[in-house]
């Protein structure tokens, strides 16, 4: 607590000068109540920049992203990198126990510490990791009076494990400061609850009553989905704004799940919808398509990188077009992990072996207050993202171990 207070004072001084320098833009945080007392609901409004964290996942190499001759993400490399500060030598630590995979990488970014994780029920190949240290969402919601739906995690449809990254099991943080999650998994559970509640289903666009048999099947299906995330059951959905969001989504795309965009394009679509409907202040998009290379097709990897590149373009365009986000939004783009560079095989880019290449990543931060066109050509750690984002948002991340990337701030 003392550390928090100290931090708050230092931050206040820093913010004051920043605000003055920037002509009152962006960094306005009320210093006296910036840090809520543990267990108490914060009352101070957040006036800092919006932050969108883009996980350039699942696992990409520098070669296909920031290397000019071999890139599959030209928009990111040639346009976005000019607008912000690039860390081309960011790494994941090679310490024992630090794994180079999606869940671990995502939690490195969100918590700011390297940790060893295992599935909550020790299921084989499952990665439902519960962070032991608070996530950025929890820091954010504990520091400011921000509604759950304004701290958002956008997850892929195949990765229900990632629903677990919405809050940690830290005794000072946890479920009370969780973020909301948008994913097809959440939509499906919402939809099933609605269908069971109203005993109605849209059949060929027209509503009709569910038969008893169908109702039983729907209940079983819901239970199966709820069992995927035991923490979700107690929440009974995620509250009014999220329900309203899904209702609009349903009205637009129907109930089949076959009309809306899919894969990482779905994540982009959900993010843009969320920006319009929910106005998140802190949002993380967990892109994942490049990871399909596990099945051997290199074009899935390169196409996945390109799809994220297209998503970034749409995201930046939408930010610029929306007054709420324009000139007040920081983008932090960072992969969850790299991929191998195994010259012994035809498909050289897996990532589960903690190879040097799978620890080599990069990061780009851009937005108000961040130096443009800068390349910081020295090693940096992935866990520094949490502290850096924390600093940009004016909130303490006292359990994060990474250093703030000072070069970011102009």
Partner 1 sequence: MSTATPVIEIVDEGPIREPRTARPSPLGSWLWRAVIAPLKYLVGVLLATTLLTSILVVGWTYRLMRRTTVKQWYKQSDAAERGLPFREYARHYESTESLAHWPNWLLGQHALREFRGETLRSAGRPAWRRVLTGCFGSVWQNIRTGVPAIANTWVLTMPSCLIWMTFWFTGWNISFDKVYEEAFVGLLASLAGIGLFIAVMHYLPMAQARHASTGQWRSFYDFRLVWKVARNRWMASAMLAALYALLSLPIMLMVSAPQFLPQIIDGSQGPGSYEAMSDAEVLRFLQGYYFWCCAYIVPAYVSLHWLAARSYAAGLLTLVRRGEVQPEELGPREADAMKQLGLLLVEAEEVKPNTLGRFVVKSAGWTSSRAMRIACGVAVVLLWFSFAAQIYVGQFLNYREVSGWLNMPLVQLPWLKEIPAALFGGRGF
Residues within the interface to partner 1 (CB under 8 A):
63-64, 157, 257-258, 262-263, 266, 289, 292, 294-298, 300, 303-304, 340, 342-350, 353-356
Beta carbons of 330 and 366 less than 8 angstroms apart: yes
- Cβ proximity to partner 1, 238 vs 355, nearer residue: 355
Q: Rounded to the nearest whole angstrom, what is the least distance from the CB of residue 341 to partner 1 in the complex?
A: 9
- Cβ proximity to partner 1, 8 vs 361, nearer residue: 361
Residue 241: its H or E element: helix 240-253
Q: Rounded to an integer, what is the distance from CA 335 to the centroid of its chain?
A: 11
Checking phi first, is residue 257 left (phi over 0); if not, alpha (psi -120 to 50) or beta?
left
* Distance, CA of 26 to CA of 22 (rounded, Å): 8
Torsion angle (degrees, nearest 10) of CA 365, 395, 144, 409: -40
Q: Rounded to the nearest whole angstrom, what is the least distance from the CB of residue 304 to partner 1 in the complex?
A: 8
3-state secondary structure of 142: helix
- Cβ proximity to partner 1, 180 vs 355, nearer residue: 355
Q: Rounded to the nearest whole angstrom, what is the least distance from the CB of residue 305 to partner 1 in the complex?
A: 12
- Cβ proximity to partner 1, 40 vs 68, nearer residue: 68
- Cβ proximity to partner 1, 36 vs 285, nearer residue: 285
Q: Rounded to the nearest whole angstrom, what is the least distance from the CB of residue 208 to partner 1 in the complex?
A: 22
Q: Rounded to the nearest whole angstrom, what is the least distance from the CB of residue 352 to partner 1 in the complex?
A: 9
* Distance, CA of 326 to CA of 408 (rounded, Å): 19
- What residues contact 372, with CB distance under 8 A and at least 6 apart? 82, 83, 84, 85, 366, 410
Q: Rounded to the nearest whole angstrom, what is the least distance from the CB of residue 342 to partner 1 in the complex?
A: 6
- What residues contact 344, with CB distance under 8 A and at least 6 apart? none
Tokens of 203: 């059949």
Q: Rounded to the nearest whole angstrom, what is the least distance from the CB of residue 218 to partner 1 in the complex?
A: 19
- Cβ proximity to partner 1, 260 vs 382, nearer residue: 260
Q: Rounded to the nearest whole angstrom, what is the least distance from the CB of residue 196 to partner 1 in the complex?
A: 22
- Cβ proximity to partner 1, 44 vs 342, nearer residue: 342
| DSSP secondary structure of 51-105 | EEEEE--S---STTTT-TTT-S-HIIIIIIGGGEEEETTEE---STT---SHHHH
Alpha helices in 94-170 (DSSP H): 102-111, 136-143
- Cβ proximity to partner 1, 166 vs 355, nearer residue: 355
């Amino acid at each position: 607590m003392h550390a928090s207070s100290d931090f708050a004072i230092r931050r206040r001084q820093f913010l004051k000068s920043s605000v003055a320098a920037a002509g009152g833009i962006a960094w306005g945080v009320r210093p006296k109540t910036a840090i809520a007392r543990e267990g108490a609901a914060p009352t101070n409004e957040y006036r800092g920049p919006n932050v969108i964290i883009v996980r350039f996942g699942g696992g990409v190499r520098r070669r296909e992203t920031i290397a000019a001759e071999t890139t599959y993400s030209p928009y990111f490399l040639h346009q976005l990198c000019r607008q912000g500060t690039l860390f081309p030598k960011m790494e994941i630590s090679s310490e024992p126990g630090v794994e180079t995979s999606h869940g671990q990488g995502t939690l490195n970014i969100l918590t700011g510490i390297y940790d060893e994780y295992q599935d909550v029920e020790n299921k084989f190949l499952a990665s439902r990791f519960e962070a032991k240290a608070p996530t950025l969402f929890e820091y954010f919601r504990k520091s400011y009076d921000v509604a759950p739906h304004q701290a958002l995690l956008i997850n892929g449809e195949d990765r229900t494990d990632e629903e677990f990254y919405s809050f940690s099991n830290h005794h000072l943080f946890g479920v009370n400061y969780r973020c909301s999650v948008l994913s097809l998994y959440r939509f499906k559970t919402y939809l099933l609850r609605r269908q069971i509640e109203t005993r109605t289903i849209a059949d060929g666009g027209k509503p009709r009553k569910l038969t008893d048999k169908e109702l039983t099947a729907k209940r079983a299906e819901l239970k199966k989905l709820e069992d995927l995330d035991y923490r979700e059951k107690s929440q009974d959905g995620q509250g009014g704004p999220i329900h309203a969001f899904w209702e609009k989504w349903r009205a637009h795309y129907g109930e089949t799940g076959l009309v809306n965009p899919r894969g990482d394009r779905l994540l982009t679509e959900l993010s843009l919808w969320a920006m319009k409907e929910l106005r998140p202040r802190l949002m993380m998009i967990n892109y994942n398509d490049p990871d399909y290379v596990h099945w051997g097709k290199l074009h899935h990897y390169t196409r996945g990188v390109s799809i994220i590149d297209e998503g970034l373009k749409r995201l930046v365009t939408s930010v610029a077009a929306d007054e709420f986000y324009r000139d007040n939004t920081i983008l932090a783009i960072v992969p969850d992990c790299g991929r191998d560079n195994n010259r012994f095989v035809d498909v050289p880019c897996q990532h589960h072996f903690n190879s040097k290449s799978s620890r080599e990543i990069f990061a780009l931060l851009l937005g108000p207050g961040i130096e443009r066109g800068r390349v910081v050509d020295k090693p940096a750690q992935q866990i520094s993202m949490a502290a850096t984002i924390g600093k940009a948002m004016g909130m303490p991340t006292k359990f994060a171990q990474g250093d703030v990337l000072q070069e970011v701030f102009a």
